[in-house]
Amino acid sequence: MYQSKAYSAASATSPLASTVIPRRDPTDRDVQIDILFCGICHSDLHTVRNEWSSVMQTAYPCVPGHEIVGRVTRVGAAVTKHKTGDLVGVGCLVDSDRTCPCCRVNLEQLCPNGTFTYNSPDKHGAAPVTYGGYSDSIVVDEHFVLRIPPNLDLAGTAPLLCAGITTYSPLKRAGVGPGKKVGIVGLGGLGHMGVKLADAFGAHVVAITTSTSKRADALRLGADEVVISRNADELRQHAGTFDFILDCVAAEHDINAYLNLLKHDGNLTLVGAPDKPLSLSAFSLIFGRRSLSGSLIGGIAETQEMLDFCGAHQITSDVEIIPIQQVNEAYARLVKSDVKYRFCIDMASLKPA
Ligand code: NAP
Ligand code: ZN
């Protein structure tokens, strides 16, 4: 066991504060990583504030962070995928049972015995629960450690490990590409990656936002059109025209307004995870035979595929880099949708000056 510097929350109402946490020494299959950057996902905030308590309780202290890039400093004797000095990434998953029907088809994220990067029981027992990437170091089984394309900016790559794969996976599964009209709802960390990726897949992309201030950015990010969702007239003009909509909204909202934008047999996939239930009108689905689905991050092989795709297409996240000492201000701004488009913590700020 060794000690790692970190930021943790002591309760749902406490600010994040500096602390020291235990990390296990690498076992034979483990990789030890010096963390360079960690993105701030809205899921970190939902978890720290115990907003998802009806589904999963947060254990405190909570060290969030699952958009990790860093450099390998140590590897176990049986590790073959990575070596000391490699640039690597870790997303939302650090373990799964490798034997269930989901794991056997590379869907580790759906494994009933999976271990999330933070707030999951720690099978290794270094601490009661896993601790995430708001930290200077982490130890992860090599299977869950990703290769980072060498040509990408590192801070902009960190958010690919969650926001990137969470949008890539459903867009790909929906067959988004040329000739398809695709809506991306909510231009935050996930949504802005959804716009970039759907554009790279060749679709006609419409960014659907509540923020008039994001109109110009949406076009720059790759949208062909922008709809301001607070303006009912703008929404109405697109009624019944979309093949696919990806809903990336973090707060309560009216999904019926977006379902009604779908063509017949169109699909809306939820990746946003508001804490309160959404209300659904049956008519939004049955008129038009539309469907509503959900999607959870992506498996490890697909996450590597996404990183390689981003390397080939020079796609990274637009980040606002902050020192970890500003994490509480960043959370306050995230709640107000005031980030363009992902906060990313420079972990050098954890080291003594
Ligand atoms: P974020 O950066 O805060 O972005 C959310 C965006 O939603 C905001 O920027 C805003 O975009 C829009 N929005 C906020 N409040 C709204 C409201 N009341 N009505 C309509 N739109 C609203 O959050 P994120 O990190 O992208 O995460 C988004 C959600 O996905 C979170 O709930 C997160 O927990 C979840 N998530 C799910 C997965 C998964 O695997 N399914 C993975 C990661 C995250 P505009 O300003 O453009 O309106
Ligand atoms: Zn996330």
Is 351 a residue whose pLDDT tops 90?
no
Task: Read off the pLDDT of each residue in 56-68 and give the average, rounded to a whole number.
Answer: 98
Tell me which residue of 231, 274, 281, 230 sits closest to 260, measured CA to CA. Answer: 281
The full DSSP string for 300-338 is HHHHHHHHHHHHHHT----EEEEEGGGHHHHHHHHHTT-
Beta strand extents in 135-219 (DSSP E only): 137-141, 146-147, 181-185, 204-209
CATH number for the domain formed by residue range(s) 163-294: 3.40.50.720
| Phi and psi, residue 324, nearest 5° | -65, -25
pLDDT band at residue 352 using 50, 70 and 90 as cut-offs: confident
Mapped onto helix, strand or coil, the DSSP state of residue 349 is: helix
Question: Residue 172: its pLDDT value, please?
Answer: 98
DSSP codes of every residue in 16-36: PEEEEEEEPPP-TTEEEEEEE
Q: Looking at the predicted structure, is the pLDDT value of residue 96 above 80?
A: yes
CATH 3.90.180.10 residue window(s) in the chain: 2-162+318-350
Among 40, 42, 302, residue to substitute to test ligand 1 (most atoms within 8 Å of Cβ): 42
Q: For the residues 61-83, what does the mean pLDDT come to?
A: 98
What is the mean predicted confidence (pLDDT) over 190-205? 98
260 and 239 Cβ atoms separated by less than 8 Å: yes
Within the chain, all domains assigned CATH 3.40.50.720 are found at 163-294
Grouping H, G, I as helix, E, B as strand and the rest as coil, residue 178 is: coil
- Residue 61: asked if its preceding bond is cis (omega within 30°), the reply is yes
- Report the separation in Å between the CA atom of 89 and the middle of ligand 1, taken as the mean of its atom positions: 23
Fold of 2-162+318-350: Quinone Oxidoreductase; Chain A, domain 1 (3.90.180)
Predicted confidence at residue 119, as pLDDT, reads: 98
Residue 279 to residue 257: CA distance in whole angstroms: 11
* Mean pLDDT within 129-139: 98
Q: Using CA atoms, how far apart are residues 107 and 284, in angstroms rounded to an integer?
A: 30
Per-residue pLDDT of 135-157, as tens digits, reads 999 999 999 999 999 999 999 99
CA angle 187, 164, 229 (to 5 degrees): 15
Q: What is the pLDDT of residues 157-187, one digit of tens each?
A: 999 999 999 999 999 999 999 999 999 999 9
Question: Which whole number is the average pLDDT over 198-207?
Answer: 98
Average pLDDT over residues 36-43: 98
Span 111-135, average pLDDT: 96
Residue 116 contacts residue 130 (beta carbons within 8 Å): yes
- pLDDT score, position 126: 86
Give the residue, out of 161, 167, 210, with the most ligand 1 atoms within 8 A of its beta carbon, to mutate for a pocket test. 210
171, 230, 249: which to mutate for ligand 1, most atoms within 8 A of CB? 249
Around ion ligand 2, residues with a beta carbon closer than 5 Å are 41, 43, 162
Residue nearest atom 2 in ligand 1 by C-alpha distance: 188
pLDDT tens string 320-350: 999 999 999 999 999 999 999 999 999 999 9
pLDDT of amino acid 210: 96
Q: Output the pLDDT for position 52.
A: 97
| Dihedral of the alpha carbons of 13, 210, 346, 51, in degrees to the nearest 10 | 30
Per-residue pLDDT tens for 269-314?
Answer: 999 999 999 999 999 999 999 999 999 999 999 999 999 999 999 9
Residues touching ligand 1 (Cβ under 6 Å) are 41-43, 46, 162-163, 166, 186-191, 209-211, 214, 248-251, 253, 271-273, 295-297, 334, 337, 339
353 has a pLDDT exceeding 70: no
The mean pLDDT of 186-204, rounded to a whole number, is 98
